[in-house]
Structure 1
Amino acid sequence: MENQQHHMVLLSSPGLGHLIPVIELAKRFVFQHNLKITILALTSTTSHAEKRVLDAAASGGHIDIVEIPTPDISSLIEPDAAVATRLCVMMREGVPGICHALSNMADTATVRPSTLIVDIFGTEALGVAEELKMHKYVFVASHAWFFSLVIHSPTLDKQVEGQYVDQKELLQIPGCTPVRPEDVIDPMLNRNDKQYQEYLAIANGITKGDGVLVNTWECLQQKDLESLRNTNLLGGILNGPVFAVGPIVRESDSKTDQGTEWVTHWLDDQPQESVIYVSFGSGGTMSYEQMTELAWGLELSGQRFIWVLRAPTVDAADAAFFTTGSDGGSKLSKYLPVGFLSRTCNVGVLVSEWAPQIDILRHPSVGGFLSHCGWNSTLESITNGVPMVAWPLYAEQRMNATLLVEELGVAVRPKVLPTKKVVDRYEIASMVREIMVVEEDYCNKEKKKNPIRERVKGIKGSAVEALSKGGSSCTALAQVVARTKE
């Protein structure tokens, strides 16, 4: 590798959903543009998964990892504070540590850092970059429609009276698809909650960057990206250009594998596109009643499955965000219907807590993904050509589900949000079969094409094209690098 002459720093907030895309973006800068990269990471003290991911990133020797001590915020928030509130307060209180780390690099590093890129929870650190005369950018690890809602929220805050969820009309975003009131992101569910004010602060903070990188690509969301770049629509809210640099996804789980190689070995023995993978991410949990219905639904669907199982909870759907969601190692099978394991032993497998998701989704035996619709998981699914059953739980996942089902046509979803009503076994079985089953055309003696599966494979192709040399996302990343070298 040539002598590196340009040093860029990326800042990640706690949570695998934030940390993983930051690391993958860092890899793009290293391997495509030969930059020196340092990642500043505030991590949750309870998350062993975050530690494994950071260790894996550092083990390659190409990226420096600096962990910022997690500040104690227990006296600053209520014990039941929402995840968004906790993240915002944690990142704000972490600014002195971030400042110290950046100043130390400026004084001692062989190559002085010239650029800071923060995720959306780290916008208060942009002021530190300003003081150190660094270029400063914001990385939105989600999609363009979500980003449009975020930056337009201060305007909606002035226009809309009462709670957003009580509105009878769609929430209008200039140039973009309107948002249904029930699909708003979590901080907008209650305008009286502290997380709403923190969210508005994020929206205003993003505008202080020199530009924004979004984890999408031109062909996927052309309309939303065009509206973000239209100064007449936005009224000059943003201070710089919007770069679509996605899809940014992991290449493999091999370095963070936890002895689950047997899962892919099991897949090797299954027919092509015959297995549905079921997982709700690192933070998704569900009630005992819903878990029971899901088990029955999988069994009734008649499809092969891999189910990443986590102990049920009576708390919020994102209760496991800052933890592994572990039940202390007890056997999770006790939460399943009597006889479920014996009846499904030849068609399904259960994995406790964690599975090598990337390796599973890219396996030719996998034909569907029942997912919480976190954007990382969504991109991992569609870039491998795998259709989805959308099961949104929290954060911006309701918007993601709507995008997948209604605009892209690569998923199906329950009639009622899973967070509002238990989805029964028959609806689950029907949804699974809709994306998994390919009907026979007996007249022509051949299988018909599943339209959802065909659409997602087309999108997979557009993602490959965007990331190829000369593709839109490859070009956009090069433009970011060029601007930071000015």
Structure 2
Amino acid sequence: MSTTSELVFIPLPIIGHLVSMVEMAKLLVDRDDRLSVTVLIMKFPFDSMIDSSVESLTASVATRIRFVLLPLQIPSLETSPMAFLYRFVESHKANVRQAVANLSACSLPRLKGLVVDMMCTSMIDVAVEFNIPSYVFIPSGMAYLGLMLYLQSLQDEQRMDLTTLNGSDAELAFPCFANPLPATKFLPLELLMKEDRQISMGHARRYRESKGILVNTFAELEPRAVEALAGLGAPVVYPVGPILNIEVESKKSFEFLDWLHQQPDASVVFLCFGSHGSFDEDQVKEIACALERSRCRFLWSLRRPPAKGKLEAPCDYADPAEVLPEGFIDRTAGVGRVIGWAPQVAILAHQAIGGFVSHCGWNSTLESIWFGVPIATWPHYAEQQFNAFQLVVELGLAAEIKMDYRRDLIKGSDSIVMADEIEGGIRRLMEGEKAEERRKKVKEASEKSRKALMEGGSSYLSLGRFIEDVTSQ
């Protein structure tokens, strides 16, 4: 059957968002040969990894997925990363409009809609101009979507001043979780206290304008959040996850994998904090002290932070010993490895990994569940990742290290988590009866995540409903 329906994907050019959206495109074209996808790439000026990622993705996708690189735009750096991203996306609107016009001029395949990242909602305007449906892709979880719609409703419909929640001891009964949220601990206060709040609420309003919302989750993982959305006035929602890229990295060979092969099953704790995860030297020393005192086997992805004031990705140290305690590498040579950038999927898939100290990004959370690895929660940007660490703690899939740590992408962090706190979290993750109970629960969640994507599974059926909605219009 020839391709008859075309979708345009507009991802945010940040690794976690881009990869998830491309994997979504692969699911669609693999599932139905009537579909093709054009992915419009906005080149991010401060992340050289995007270029190599696009090259890798291009080599691994089906012929009915193509990439269009848009001309480079460099807006001025605003006072916050969120404000910069908003201006960055806005600066590409004319180029997106032209790309969509070129596709619309073709009689076949017929353009059936724009699928935009949750941070690219201004591109819904382009869909309106061309009289085609728009869909929003949420690379985070259902609870994130619910929170944004809930807060936007409190502000716009109930006229609540969200900034009054700051410093309040009252608990907010957010319906996506079993337990009320302490406003001072779990709510995204960065959104409530700054201009970023208006940008975030603006995105939430645009979610409501779309024809549907695709979410990288599965119903069995977030049943309360799925149920709660029905009362929040959301458009039709399609839970289609877990959407993961688990193939490419697993086929490569890395030196430290040879070391992992020699370790007992489930004995190694893996520390990795995402594509933008890094720490200042004082915090690095506290982590090192905690690892040494815990005597746990470890694999630690340690990366150099960008210069303060720079919106750039971290890089590897030429010599990690320059920031580690003197003699640390020699003293721990028998039990641990310190590496730079980490192929996270290949590591989490390894049978020697028994725990994952994580920043609780949504992709990392889904990967840990997929491979059945318990988490120790240490979110870097609590306002963005609260749904992941709140969820895994409620489900009994995680131990806690720090729940309200905040690190600004540009300014870094003034707070330090001390070695005692880190050591305690690692021990809770790796040792004792509760750790064994947690491991069993994660294994059960892993089985559910895989079944959701199989024929007849919840996400399989949800994706089928989306395809039918798109192709039948």
Normalised to the residue count of structure 1, the TM-score between the two structures is 0.88
Shift of 1:48: 2.2
1:417 has 2:404 as partner: yes
Aligned to 1:31: 30
Q: Is the 8 A contact 2:249 2:345 kept in 1?
A: no
Q: How many residues end up aligned between the 2 structures? A: 456
Shift of 1:416: 6.0
Aligned match for 1:68, one of 34, 52, 70: 70
- Please list, as runs of the form range in 1=range in 2, the aligned pairs for 1:395-406 lying within 5 A after superposition: 395-405=383-393
Query: Residue 385 of structure 1 aligns to which amino acid in structure 2?
Result: G
Q: Is the 8 A contact 2:379 2:402 kept in 1?
A: no
Shift of 1:254: 2.7
Query: Residue 399 of structure 1 aligns to which amino acid in structure 2?
Result: N
| Alignment CA distance shift 1:393-1:315 (3 Å) | farther
CA RMSD of aligned residues (A): 2.3
- Please list, as runs of the form range in 1=range in 2, the aligned pairs for 1:340-419 lying within 5 A after superposition: 340-352=328-340, 354-394=341-381, 395-405=383-393, 407-414=394-401, 417-419=404-406
1:246 has 2:241 as partner: yes
| Alignment CA distance shift 1:202-1:139 (3 Å) | same
Structure 2 CA distance for aligned equivalents of residues 87 and 468 of structure 1? 36
1:199 has 2:200 as partner: yes
Normalised to the residue count of structure 2, the TM-score between the two structures is 0.90
Secondary structure of the 2:102 match is helix
Q: Is the 8 A contact 1:56 1:255 kept in 2?
A: no
Secondary structure of the 1:412 match is strand
Aligned match for 2:274, one of 272, 281, 284: 281
Deviations along 1:63-91, one digit per CA (max 9) or x if unpaired, are 211122242211xx53xx22111111111
Aligned to 2:327: 339
Aligned to 1:147: 145
Secondary structure of the 1:99 match is helix
1:290 has 2:283 as partner: yes
- Please list, as runs of the form range in 1=range in 2, the aligned pairs for 1:80-479 lying within 5 A after superposition: 81-108=79-106, 110-157=108-155, 158-160=159-161, 162-174=163-175, 176-177=177-178, 178-181=180-183, 182-185=185-188, 187-190=190-193, 193-229=194-230, 233-234=231-232, 237-238=233-234, 240-254=235-249, 261-312=254-305, 315=308, 323-326=312-315, 330-352=318-340, 354-394=341-381, 395-405=383-393, 407-414=394-401, 417-419=404-406, 421-437=415-431, 450-479=436-465
Query: Residue 421 of structure 2 aligns to which amino acid in structure 1?
Result: E
Structure 2 CA distance for aligned equivalents of residues 461 and 217 of structure 1? 12
- Structure 1: where are the runs of 5+ without partners? 440-447
Deviations along 1:146-204, one digit per CA (max 9) or x if unpaired, are 111111222333224644332221233356554332222364241xx322211111111
Aligned to 1:442: none
Q: Is the 8 A contact 1:165 1:184 kept in 2?
A: no
Q: Is the 8 A contact 2:162 2:192 kept in 1?
A: no
Shift of 1:473: 0.2
